[in-house]
Every structure is written in structure tokens, then in C-alpha cells.
């Protein structure tokens, strides 16, 4: 697929196909079950038909794009883990030993690991994709996290990467992240784009104590006061208080929607990226499926704002794309209900009387 050279606000994203969704509903109503008895599985199946524009969707090639980057704001002491963990976890992904690797294998998904801005020079690896914008963002508590051009570059990289995976056959895209300090950036984005108090959208991330939590809230508020991100300009928001992996995931969502692919968003960091993507292109929302509701309070606020109902609520807070992987199994099951289950006529089963 050909992707635009520049990420602009006027990128064309088609509406989902309502006509095909009605046809999907008609078939669902004819299947050997009481009307609506498979609940949200039926809703999801119909959504996938509308997104993919096929009455027989087959999600054979599942891909989770996990983007890694560091955040300068960790210098403020907002995380329970040192910044070096980002680099170490990328190597863990590449060795196949992380939570996302286990769950992706479980559902038959490929994991694509992207260095969007890790604050280290990672050793070359056949399964590592290098798109480093810079070695981590600047400290958003003292000034902008990145330039507008860096934010655009990260978004363009996300669009390019999802386009490449779609060219390779990807039927469904999951989003994942790794980056110490990224819940701080995500809380800042959520506060601005949902017009919420910082304390309402800030959680404990990697498991910080009360003192560090209070510091985290204060640091986010300082970042907002120093940078004054414009909620009417999502590019300004992600540039001033975001992260390279967050901006990259914005591009993944926009590119996936443009190519009529369902995009399964993971937890809070993916949710923050979704806020930016939908602010840039409102039609992106119709192609997003919320995998789960994480423990982060800002994630609940984000999903409510986007009017996305999560498929799972398992108290997850790992990120990496783990929730997206689990949700893909449910989405695949929904499609198989539509395509493999017999109708009353096909099965020779009597319909409901009356």
C-alpha cells in the first residue's frame, strides 16, 4: 500500500461500510441461536465486517506492533524503575521472554518490535526495527518533550510501519508499548485532551509509593503549566508532553484505519495515542477496538471519552500489547461465529415459535 509522504490533517479515512454491517446482522440473526444470545461477540463480528468490507472476515495474520522509547521526565523521579529497563526489556522482547511474547504466541500473533527512541544504541537484531527519532524525549517538566517535526516524523514512521505489515498480509493490528515514564506522558495527554484534572487521570504506573505518586502528579501539572499544550492542536499536545512511541502509535492507528484494518488498542499508553489519533482524524475511532480496561485511572477516563467499551477487564497494567493479544482471540472467535456457524436453514433446525 502507498502511504502519504507527510502526515496531514486531511488524510482520507473511509467510513465503515454500514450496508455490509446490516447484511452481517441479518446473517447473525439467522444463526442457530436465540437472537442476540452471543452478545458482544455479535457486535464485534459486525464491526469487523464494516471495517474490513468483507462479509467473511478471516483474521489469519495477527500483528502486534510494540514501540519502545524513553522519556526525559524520568529525571524527575516519577517511576519505580530506572530508565535502563526500557533497553533491557527490548532485548527481552527480542529473545521472546516477555509477557507480550507469551501471549502473542498463545493467540498466534506476530510481534514487531520498534525502537522509536530508546535512550541507548541497541545492538542490531534481525527482529528489531530501527526508527529511532532521538535518544529519548526531553524532560517535559522543563520544556517541550520534542519538536513538532520530531512528532510528525514519529507519526510518519508509524504509518510507514503499519503499511509495511499490511503489505505483508496483516489482517488485524494490535498496539503495544515499552518506555519507563510513559504513563506520566500519557496522563498529561489525557488531562489535556479530556479536559480532566491531573489527579483524576494519574495512576501509579509501575507501582510507585504515595510520595512518588504525589511527585508524579505535581510534575505532570508543572509540565502542563510550562508547555501550555493546545487541546485544539493534537500535534502540539503530543509534541510538548508526549513520547516517541506514543506519536508512533498515532501513526499506526491512522494508517491502520486508512487501510480498513481493525486496530486493537492495548492499555493506557495506547489509549493516550488513540486520543491524539481521533483528535487528528475523528473517523479513526470507528476502526479502534479497546482490548481491555487497565488499572490506570486515566485509562477509564480515556475510554469513556472515546466512547469505546473494552472487551476485557482483568486488572492488567503491563502494557507491551498484552491486552491486545488477549483481545485478538475474542475478536477472532467473533468472526468465526459469523463465518462458521450454521443458519437455521442450513442446519435444518426449527426457528423460534411466534
Q: Which residues are catalytic?
A: 320
**C-alpha triplet 287, 191, 205: angle, nearest 5°:** 85
Element of type H or E holding 245: helix 244-258
Closest by CA to 311, choosing from 291, 297, 337, 296, is 291
Instruction: Please give the radius of gyration of the chain, using alpha carbons only, rounded to the nearest integer.
Output: 20
Q: Which residues, in sequence order, are CB contacts of 285 under 8 Å at separation 6+?
A: 274, 278, 306, 307, 308
Strand order in the sheet with 172-178: 128-130, 109-117, 62-69, 172-178, 263-265, 288-290
In the numeric block, which cell numbers belong to residue 145? 518533550
With beta carbons less than 8 A apart as the criterion, state whether 68 and 90 touch.
Answer: yes
Amino acid at each position: 500500500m502507498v502511504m502519504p509522504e507527510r502526515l496531514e490533517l486531511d488524510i482520507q479515512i473511509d467510513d465503515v461500510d454500514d450496508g455490509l454491517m446490516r447484511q452481517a446482522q441479518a446473517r447473525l440473526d439467522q444463526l442457530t441461536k436465540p437472537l442476540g444470545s452471543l452478545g458482544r461477540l455479535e457486535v464485534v463480528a459486525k464491526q469487523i465486517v464494516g471495517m474490513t468490507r468483507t462479509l467473511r472476515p478471516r483474521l489469519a495474520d495477527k500483528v502486534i506492533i510494540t514501540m519502545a522509547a524513553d522519556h526525559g521526565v524520568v529525571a524527575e523521579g516519577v517511576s519505580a524503575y530506572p530508565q535502563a529497563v526500557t533497553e533491557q526489556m527490548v532485548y527481552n522482547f527480542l529473545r521472546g521472554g516477555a509477557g507480550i511474547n507469551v501471549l502473542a504466541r498463545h493467540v498466534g500473533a506476530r510481534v514487531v518490535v520498534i525502537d522509536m527512541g530508546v535512550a541507548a544504541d541497541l545492538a542490531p537484531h534481525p527482529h528489531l526495527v530501527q526508527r529511532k527519532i532521538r535518544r529519548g524525549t526531553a524532560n517535559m517538566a522543563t520544556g517541550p518533550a520534542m519538536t513538532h517535526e520530531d512528532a510528525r516524523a514519529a507519526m510518519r514512521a508509524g504509518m510507514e510501519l503499519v503499511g509495511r505489515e499490511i503489505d505483508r498480509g496483516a489482517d488485524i493490528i494490535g498496539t503495544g508499548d515499552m518506555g519507563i515514564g510513559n504513563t506520566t506522558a500519557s496522563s498529561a495527554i489525557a488531562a489535556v485532551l479530556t479536559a480532566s484534572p491531573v489527579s483524576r487521570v494519574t495512576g501509579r504506573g509501575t507501582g510507585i509509593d504515595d510520595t512518588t505518586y504525589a511527585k508524579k502528579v505535581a510534575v505532570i501539572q508543572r509540565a502542563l503549566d510550562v508547555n501550555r499544550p493546545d487541546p485544539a492542536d493534537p500535534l502540539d499536545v503530543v509534541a510538548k508532553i508526549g513520547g516517541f512511541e506514543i506519536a508512533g502509535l498515532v501513526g499506526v492507528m491512522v494508517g491502520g484505519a486508512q487501510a480498513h484494518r481493525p486496530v486493537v488498542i492495548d492499555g493506557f499508553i495506547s489509549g493516550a495515542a488513540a486520543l491524539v489519533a481521533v483528535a487528528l482524524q475523528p473517523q479513526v475511532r470507528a476502526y479502534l477496538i479497546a482490548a481491555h480496561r487497565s488499572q490506570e485511572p486515566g485509562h477509564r477516563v480515556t475510554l469513556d471519552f472515546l466512547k469505546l467499551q473494552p472487551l476485557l477487564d482483568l486488572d492488567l497494567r503491563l502494557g507491551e500489547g498484552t491486552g491486545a493479544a488477549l483481545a485478538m482471540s475474542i475478536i477472532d472467535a467473533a468472526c468465526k461465529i459469523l463465518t462458521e456457524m450454521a443458519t437455521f436453514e442450513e442446519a435444518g433446525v426449527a426457528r423460534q415459535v411466534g
